[in-house]
Amino acid sequence: MTTLEKLIDHSKQISHFNHLAAICGWDQAAMMPSGGNQARSEAMAALSVHIHQLQTQPQLADWFEQASNETLSTQDKAVLRELKRSWQLANVLPADLVQAKSLAGSKCEHAWRTQRNENNWDGFADNWKEVVKLSQEEAQIRAEATGLNPYDAMLDIYEPGTSTASLDNIFNDVKSWLPELIDQVVDKQQAESFITPQGEYDTDKQKMLGLEVMKLLQFDFEHGRLDESVHPFCGGVPTDVRLTTRYNKNEFVQSLMGVVHETGHASYEQGLPKAFAGTPAGEARSMGIHESQSLFMEMQIGRNDNFIALLADLSKDAFSTNEPALFTPENFQKLYTRVEKDFIRVDADELTYPAHVILRYEIERDLMNGKIQFSDVPELWDQKMRAYLGLSTKGNYKNGCMQDIHWTDGSFGYFPSYTLGAMNAAQFMAAMKKTVDVDAAIRSGDLSPIFTWLSTNIWSKGSLLTTDELVKGATGETLNPSFFKAHLENRYLTD
């Protein structure tokens, strides 16, 4: 057995425990009774420590050195690169910090579910300050190990190769044209009339509708399922993908498109290269690429006129209604492309969404770099919300700085992935249209040509390529935000 093969076997052991952790996390969010949280949190913290111990075993340093001297193919080198990156990310952290952060995050997230509804910033802050403190410790340790600044060191977990400098350039450019574009579109849409859902929409029927749409999107139900949670997410592992959404009995529009979004994540997971399963090379390239797949499904496909027509027909069949005009493709198109300045990120339209992301990026960047304190966040949130979207969140914590789950467990560095994903999705669609008749595929109800392109160019690559290599291989160039701007202008300003 070569040393690389020993490293791969060791990685697969770790992968088995990560599988268990993922399913436990899904159950904690979707199925577990609230009284089980303390015991579950302690069990998951112990599991995280065990995984960390496996990731940092002393012999691994020698194995990596030995493997680097072996004769390796191009793919072998990529596998070794990703194994070493994963090892380095874990090896810099002491086990007691891993355990403390897991416990603090579980406690904060569980309490947040109630505290957010109660607009209880003080109660949330009592827990969150410990999460921030431990995350800042982690950021500093990672910074010292990598030579990066603290925020870049955290960003590298989710977006390897991306830096604050590049993000500042991208987001400053977006801020230079986005507010004016939003205002243009809001003014343009004021003259439009449309019908919104009225009455009650049975949640069981909403779930059945979601399952029908997942079938249309060729989700593999033998290796995944749909459930309900407070915050929609996609978890589990490629062979057992767990999607969740949330339902509102007064409308079905958001939950339905939420299912489309999470199915994009799930399709990527299910399409990852099975030959490299159990190793980091067989995992998603980055969170930005992961988000590109969910946003490709939600925004590039989900808001396509032809797909909207399919959604309208399926929705009309799902609900017995006295509102036939609601379920026309024309009305659905207006519902799903409505631009409105609002407080909630997860409910935001694709045009205002980048403003929500930039706000969070700027706050978490300065928080991890020690330029602000956790107690400054509500006021900064209000200032930036007023500047970017003209809305005030003063005293409105539940719809302001307490609305997201990500910071409750210390996932700082994650938020830029959403807008990077939207930009990549627009670029992928532009490239796909050169060889695939996307509209014809959607009209036919058989989206196979679309998924074949994604599988060939994105899913099957896993992490064998760097992000830049992946995007360039699929589109002919590295990330170019101009595709995103052109997409938005074409969809929202073109009659």
The edge-to-edge listing of strands for the beta sheet with 234-237 is 224-228, 240-245, 234-237
Q: Based on the domain organization, do 217 and 98 belong to the same domain? A: no
Tens-digit pLDDT profile for residues 154-171: 999 999 999 999 999 999
| Residue 65 neighbours by CB under 8 Å, 6+ apart | none
pLDDT the model gives residue 323: 82
Lowest-confidence pick of 72-81, 223-232, 268-277: 223-232
Q: Based on the domain organization, do 121 and 163 belong to the same domain? A: no
Q: What percent of the chain has pLDDT over 90?
A: 91
Q: Tell if the pTM clears 0.75, that is, is over it.
A: yes
What is d(CA 92, CA 69) in angstroms, rounded to the nearest whole number?
Answer: 24
Q: Based on the domain organization, do 79 and 175 belong to the same domain? A: no
Longest dimension (CA), the chain: 71
The domain of 26 spans: 3-148
Give CA separation, 109 vs 104, 247, 400, 408, in Å: 9, 20, 16, 5
Q: Based on the domain organization, do 138 and 160 belong to the same domain? A: no
Tens-digit pLDDT profile for residues 445-458: 999 999 999 999 99
pLDDT band at 202 (very low <50, low <70, confident <90, very high): very high
Q: Which of 119, 148, 177 is the last residue of a domain?
A: 148
Q: Which of 120, 148, 176 is the last residue of a domain?
A: 148
Residue 248 pairs in a beta bridge with 251
Q: Based on the domain organization, do 143 and 163 belong to the same domain? A: no
Q: What percent of the chain has pLDDT over 70?
A: 100
Q: Based on the domain organization, do 155 and 126 belong to the same domain? A: no
pLDDT band at 222 (very low <50, low <70, confident <90, very high): very high
Tens-digit pLDDT profile for residues 87-110: 999 889 998 998 899 999 999 999
Q: Based on the domain organization, do 381 and 306 belong to the same domain? A: yes
Tens-digit pLDDT profile for residues 329-367: 999 999 999 999 999 998 899 999 999 999 999 999 999
pLDDT the model gives residue 432: 98
Tens-digit pLDDT profile for residues 406-444: 999 999 999 999 999 999 999 999 999 999 999 999 999
pLDDT band at 199 (very low <50, low <70, confident <90, very high): confident
pLDDT the model gives residue 147: 95
What is d(CA 381, CA 399) in angstroms, rounded to the nearest whole number?
Answer: 11
For the chain, give the secondary structure using H, E and C: CCHHHHHHHHHHHHHHHHHHHHHHHHHHHHCCCHHHHHHHHHHHHHHHHHHHHHHCCCHHHHHHHHHHCCCCCHHHHHHHHHHHHHHHHHHCCCHHHHHHHHHHHHHHHHHHHHHHHCCCHHHHHHHHHHHHHHHHHHHHHHHHHHCCCHHHHHHHHHCCCCCHHHHHHHHHHHHHHHHHHHHHHHHHHCCCCCCCCCCCCCHHHHHHHHHHHHHHCCCCHHHEEEEECCCCCEEEECCEEEEEECCECCECHHHHHHHHHHHHHHHHHHHCCHHHCCCHHHCCCCHHHHHHHHHHHHHHHCCCHHHHHHHHHHHHHHCCCCCHHHHCHHHHHHHHCCCCCCCCCCCCCCCCHHHHHHHHHHHHHHHHCCCCCHHHHHHHHHHHHHHHHCCCCCCCCCCCCCCCCHHHHCCCCCCHHHHHHHHHHHHHHHHHCCCCCHHHHHHHCCCHHHHHHHHHHCHHHCCCCCHHHHHHHHHCCCCCCHHHHHHHHHHHHCC
pLDDT the model gives residue 165: 96
Tokens for 395? 């005293």
| Residue 317 neighbours by CB under 8 Å, 6+ apart | none
What is the total count of domains within the chain? 2
pLDDT the model gives residue 320: 74
Q: Based on the domain organization, do 97 and 205 belong to the same domain? A: no
Q: Based on the domain organization, do 231 and 272 belong to the same domain? A: yes
298 is catalytic: no
Q: Based on the domain organization, do 181 and 125 belong to the same domain? A: no
CA dihedral over 293, 314, 446, 228, signed as positive or negative:
positive
CB of 445 closer than 8 Å to CB of 398: no
pLDDT the model gives residue 298: 96
CATH of the domain at 232: 1.10.1370.30
Active-site annotation holder among 262, 283, 298, 362:
262
Q: Which of 148, 172, 202 is the last residue of a domain?
A: 148
pLDDT the model gives residue 232: 85
Do strands 240-245 and 224-228 pair parallel, antiparallel, or not at all (unpaired)?
A: parallel
Q: Based on the domain organization, do 300 and 166 belong to the same domain? A: yes
Q: Based on the domain organization, do 278 and 322 belong to the same domain? A: yes
